[in-house]
């Protein structure tokens, strides 16, 4: 018929397709996530629809806990690596912990949340 139809054809071309080919494309379902308005996105999201396809760069696997990967560990959590650790929440807090030990908490300190930082494996 001389009219090239592409998968990424914008919606405004649909009347042209009907006119030139006789194919009613209004019944087609668009899978292009960018073809909904913000208002429609919010309505569908509030209605409980899974809007994950509309988010960009979604990870496919659960990310590693980066704070522990970088040598940090919150209080009351298991120690991720054996060695010497310290926290700014308590003076002279440097101590040796084995992997799996629960990191101590110092509630009501002046620093705030207790975060342990890895210093190394050597004493």
Is pTM beyond 0.75? Reply is no
CA angle, residues 78, 81, 87, in degrees to nearest 5: 70
96: alpha, beta or left, given left = phi > 0 and alpha = psi -120 to 50? beta
Percent of the chain at pLDDT exceeding 70: 59
- Per-residue pLDDT of 40-93, as tens digits, reads 878 888 998 877 776 665 556 655 555 455 688 999 999 998 999 999 999 899
């Amino acid at each position: 018929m001389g009219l090239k139809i592409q998968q990424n054809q914008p919606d405004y071309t649909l009347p042209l397709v009907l006119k030139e080919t006789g194919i009613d494309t209004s019944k087609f379902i668009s899978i292009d996530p960018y073809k909904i308005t913000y208002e429609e996105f919010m309505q569908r999201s509030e209605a409980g629809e899974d809007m994950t396809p509309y988010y960009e760069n979604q990870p496919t696997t659960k990310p590693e806990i980066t704070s522990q990967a970088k040598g940090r560990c919150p209080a009351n959590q298991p120690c991720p690596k054996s060695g010497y650790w310290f926290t700014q929440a308590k003076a002279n807090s440097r101590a040796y912990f084995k992997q799996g030990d629960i990191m101590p908490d110092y509630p009501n300190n002046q620093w705030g949340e207790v975060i342990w930082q890895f210093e190394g494996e050597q004493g």
